[in-house]
Structure 1
Amino acid sequence: MRHPSLANIEWQDLRQLKPTETVYNIFLSLPFLLLSWWSAWQGFWLLALAATFFFFTAALRQAHDCYHRTLGVSKVATELMLFMLSITMLCSTHAIRHTHLNHHRDPLGDSDVEGNWARLPWYQAILGGGIFSIMIQWFGLTHGSSRNRMLVGFDMLLIFAVIATAFITMHPVLMYHVLVMILANTMVGFFAVWSVHHGCDEVVYARSERHPLINLLTFNLLYHIEHHLFPAVPTNHLPALAKRLDATAPQWTQQPVIPFLAPVNKYPVVNMNKNSNSLNTEVSLIKES
Structure 2
Amino acid sequence: MTHQEILKKVEWKDLRSLSIREVFIENNLTIPWFLISITLAYFGYYIFALPFSAFFFLTGLRQVQNGFHNSLGTNKFLTWLSLYINSVLMLVSIHAVKFNHIRHHKYCLTDQDYEGKSAGMSWYGAILYGPVHMFLIHKITLQLGNKNYRRNVVTELLSIVAFAGISLYFNIHFLLYHIIVMLIGEFLMAFFAVWTVHHDTHDSPEYARTQRNGWKNKITFSMFYHLEHHMFPAVPTIKLPELARRIDEAIPELEKKSTF
Please state which band the TM-score falls in when normalised by the shorter chain. Answer: over 0.9
SS at structure 2 position matched to 1:3: helix
Q: How far did residue 202 of structure 1 move?
A: 4.7
Partner in structure 2 of residue 67 of structure 1: 68
Paired with 2:63 and 2:100, the residues of 1 have a C-alpha distance of 16
SS at structure 1 position matched to 2:229: helix
- Label 1:253 to 1:173 Cα distance change in 2 as closer, same or farther (>3 A): farther
Partner in structure 2 of residue 20 of structure 1: 21
Q: How far did residue 12 of structure 1 move?
A: 0.7
- Label 1:108 to 1:202 Cα distance change in 2 as closer, same or farther (>3 A): farther
* Greater mean alpha carbon deviation, residues 33-42 or residues 129-138: 129-138
CA RMSD of aligned residues (A): 1.3
Matching residue within 221, 230, 250 for 1:248: 250
Partner in structure 1 of residue 103 of structure 2: 102
Query: What letter is aligned with 1:79?
Result: W
Partner in structure 2 of residue 158 of structure 1: 159
SS at structure 2 position matched to 1:104: helix
Paired with 2:254 and 2:146, the residues of 1 have a C-alpha distance of 34
Per-residue CA deviation, residues 148-198 of structure 1 (Å, 9 max, x unaligned), is 100111001100001111110111111101111111100111011110000
Question: Map of 1:258-277 to 2, 5 A cutoff?
Answer: 258=260
Paired with 1:2 and 1:174, the residues of 2 have a C-alpha distance of 45
Contact 1:109 1:202 in 2 (8 A): no
Contact 1:107 1:205 in 2 (8 A): no
Partner in structure 1 of residue 223 of structure 2: 221
Partner in structure 1 of residue 210 of structure 2: 208
Contact 1:33 1:51 in 2 (8 A): yes
The normalised TM-score by structure 2 is 0.96
Paired with 1:138 and 1:253, the residues of 2 have a C-alpha distance of 36
- Label 1:252 to 1:158 Cα distance change in 2 as closer, same or farther (>3 A): farther
Q: How far did residue 5 of structure 1 move?
A: 4.0
Paired with 1:151 and 1:193, the residues of 2 have a C-alpha distance of 24
- Label 1:110 to 1:135 Cα distance change in 2 as closer, same or farther (>3 A): same
Paired with 1:221 and 1:5, the residues of 2 have a C-alpha distance of 21
Per-residue CA deviation, residues 179-226 of structure 1 (Å, 9 max, x unaligned), is 111111001110111100001125244100011111111111100010
Contact 1:6 1:249 in 2 (8 A): no
Question: Map of 1:1-289 to 2, 5 A cutoff?
Answer: 2-203=3-204, 204-258=206-260
Q: How far did residue 133 of structure 1 move?
A: 1.2
Share of identical aligned residues, percent?
Answer: 37
Query: What letter is aligned with 1:241?
Result: L
Per-residue CA deviation, residues 240-267 of structure 1 (Å, 9 max, x unaligned), is 1101111222344510001xxxxxxxxx
Per-residue CA deviation, residues 81-121 of structure 1 (Å, 9 max, x unaligned), is 11100010010001111100000001111211111211011
The normalised TM-score by structure 1 is 0.86
- Label 1:88 to 1:5 Cα distance change in 2 as closer, same or farther (>3 A): closer
Contact 2:64 2:86 in 1 (8 A): yes
Paired with 2:190 and 2:64, the residues of 1 have a C-alpha distance of 15
Contact 1:103 1:115 in 2 (8 A): yes
Runs of 4+ in 1 over 6 A off after TM superposition: none
Segments of structure 2 that go 5 or more residues without pairing to the other structure are: none
Query: What letter is aligned with 2:175?
Result: L
Query: What letter is aligned with 1:55?
Result: F
Contact 1:245 1:253 in 2 (8 A): no
